[in-house]
Structure 1
Amino acid sequence: MLRPAFSKIFFSLCLLLTVFGSITGYASKPLRIVSVNGTLSEIISGLGLESQLVGVDITSTYPASLSKIPKVGHNRSISAEGIIALNPDVILYTDQSMLSPSVIKQLTSSGKKVVEFKHEYSKEGAVKLIREVGAYFNAKPQAEKMVKTLEADLAKIAKPATPKKLLFIYARGTGTLMVSGTGTSLDKLFILTGNKNAVQGFTEFKPLTAESLLAANPDVLVLFTSGLESVDGAEGLLKVPGIANTNAGRNKKIVSMDGQFLTGFGPRLGKAAIELVQKIR
């Protein structure tokens, strides 16, 4: 007669522990997450999961608190060993992360869960990415809150009556100057603001030449803040052959913005577009 009573008590205790665990988080251990994409890291933080990030890449600069998290490198310089050493439960990246296929193979071979998200450079792509990451972590309400803010920001973009020709220059000192062609995140952002890329006819990036500058004749030059600093500011850039002979050079219309903010195409896409519009006026 005691055994059924004991079983009933035991079952009640188990049920009580299950309920208690679901409330306190005792029953489920927090995931250890490594993100090798700045936009993914920003979204994860926005979902309220920043405390679960144990490693991020160099592009993970927002929010500023991410600076305290161990870095695993940047793009193709990321090693599988550095990530595995952090003992993550899941490693996240996007198809735009340029993570080496050999590194992905090493990570999966080690038994680590590696998840890829598609990231399209558009307002629709930004919304989709936020929702997919939110769904993956069972945080849809938090994701929708970010989407709502993003859509409200995008609605505020004031497109110009006359589009301007913008040219993005990737700079790492005067010896490394590249211009952004069509299909890049910069090109897509220019279009989103109602302006246009000054260069056409090629995709990705090409070396900057005086001839191509004169042919493009941009109204505004856009650089990453770090890039402009690497050429000694606007005055240094104006000394680059061809720059001073463009409309942008003659009018000293040179704009710089934080790289991740400008190209992230994530929760702050609308804010980045608004700031760019304001700066190129």
Structure 2
Amino acid sequence: MKKLSVFTTWLGCLLMGLLVSNQPALANKSPKEEPIRIVSLDGTVSEILCDLGLQSHLIGVDVTSTYPESLQKLPKVGHNRNISAEGVISLKPTLVLTSVNAGTKPEVIEQIKSAGINVITFQQEYSVAGTKKLIQDIANTCQVTSRAKPLIKKLDADLAQVKKAVGNPKVLFIYARGTGTMMVSGRGTQVDKMIELAGGVNATSSFDNYKPLTAEALVTANPDVILLFDSGLESLGGSEGLAEVQGIAQTNAGKNGRIIVMDGHLLTGFSPRLGKALQELTQKISQKPKV
């Protein structure tokens, strides 16, 4: 009888341990402790937190945090390059997460830290390996290390479905916010990396970062495909508005109607949806000319 009692006690402890281990690490064990309150200043970081099952800890995000849709319900603290430290501090977070590439001003980060708030800045490389590392780094930081593995496995499965474009189509990405703000993407940008991973060639690879769009440069680049954010094309008045931009009609893309759009965060985020983004991009740049 005594042996049975000891066994029952041991089994009860084992089951309790299993139950506790399945709870989010950020959910404090003691009801007396305040829950972890996170503000994310980077859209990809926000997406990964949600995929790791930690969305309930998010109390505020930057405006680039557009996916999943449920993030729209959270308070916004501004664009990650123009964050108000006071706005972040007012939410009373216990943890602020961001990435180096988000571009939040160092003085803003220091101001948040000076308020006694822990700020962690992740490195993010725009590559498949970089995306996997970021997922793992965030999981490790939030003490949910094991949750990274299924996310990375799903990413690998999505990437396995990518069929690279044949013929190395020349792709020109135009960042547009109306006709007054039009830039083209050079080397080292997220879009440059995505075009390469999709089997295309960046039509403007003679410079780094972004440069203003000019009619002369557009005709010289002569892309097979022109790529924009869906919001960018909308800001120009749609395909008709883009066609009126000087130089567009003289390119192969303009002549053949090969204008494609994608969601901005999906295309440039290098998030757990990277495989899905590449599937969409390769399919679109592989489409045959309309004429």
Fold-level similarity (TM above 0.5): yes
**1:145 and 2:150 aligned:** yes
**1:88 and 2:88 aligned:** no
SS of the residue corresponding to residue 255 of structure 1 reads strand
* Residues in 2 aligned to 1:139 and 1:55: alpha-carbon distance in whole angstroms: 21
Give matches, 1:74-153, under 5 Å: 74-153=79-158
* Residues in 1 aligned to 2:139 and 2:29: alpha-carbon distance in whole angstroms: 22
CA contact (8 A) 2:165 2:283 kept: no
- Deviation at 1:75? 2.4
SS of the residue corresponding to residue 76 of structure 1 reads coil
* Residues in 1 aligned to 2:81 and 2:192: alpha-carbon distance in whole angstroms: 23
The ranges of structure 1 where at least 4 consecutive aligned residues each deviate by more than 2 angstroms after the TM superposition are 21-26
* Residues in 2 aligned to 1:26 and 1:269: alpha-carbon distance in whole angstroms: 34
* Residues in 1 aligned to 2:140 and 2:58: alpha-carbon distance in whole angstroms: 17
Aligned twin of 1:263:
268
**1:216 and 2:221 aligned:** yes
* Residues in 1 aligned to 2:47 and 2:81: alpha-carbon distance in whole angstroms: 21
CA contact (8 A) 2:45 2:98 kept: yes
Aligned twin of 2:72:
67
- Deviation at 1:22? 4.8
- Deviation at 1:30? 2.8
- Deviation at 1:157? 1.1
* Residues in 2 aligned to 1:76 and 1:156: alpha-carbon distance in whole angstroms: 34
- Deviation at 1:186? 0.1
* Superposed CA offset, 1:95-137 (max 9, x none): 1001011101101111110001000000000000001101111
* Residues in 2 aligned to 1:143 and 1:57: alpha-carbon distance in whole angstroms: 23
Aligned twin of 1:12:
none
**1:232 and 2:237 aligned:** yes
* Residues in 2 aligned to 1:76 and 1:134: alpha-carbon distance in whole angstroms: 25
What is the aligned counterpart of 2:177 among 169, 172, 189? 172
* Superposed CA offset, 1:182-219 (max 9, x none): 10000000000111100122111100000000110001
* Residues in 2 aligned to 1:216 and 1:139: alpha-carbon distance in whole angstroms: 47
* Residues in 1 aligned to 2:40 and 2:80: alpha-carbon distance in whole angstroms: 12
- Deviation at 1:76? 2.5
* Residues in 1 aligned to 2:156 and 2:84: alpha-carbon distance in whole angstroms: 36
Matched pairs, number? 265
Query: Match for 1:145: what amino acid?
Result: P
Query: Match for 1:30: what amino acid?
Result: P
SS of the residue corresponding to residue 167 of structure 1 reads strand
Note the residue ranges of structure 2 that are not aligned, 5 or more in a row: 1-12
SS of the residue corresponding to residue 175 of structure 1 reads coil
- Deviation at 1:26? 4.0
SS of the residue corresponding to residue 161 of structure 1 reads coil
- Deviation at 1:160? 2.5
**1:241 and 2:256 aligned:** no
CA contact (8 A) 2:225 2:259 kept: yes
Identity %: 53
CA contact (8 A) 2:124 2:134 kept: yes
* Residues in 1 aligned to 2:242 and 2:230: alpha-carbon distance in whole angstroms: 12
TM-score (norm 2): 0.88
- Deviation at 1:161? 2.7
* Residues in 2 aligned to 1:117 and 1:40: alpha-carbon distance in whole angstroms: 9
* Residues in 2 aligned to 1:136 and 1:104: alpha-carbon distance in whole angstroms: 18
CA contact (8 A) 2:52 2:139 kept: yes
Aligned twin of 2:54:
49
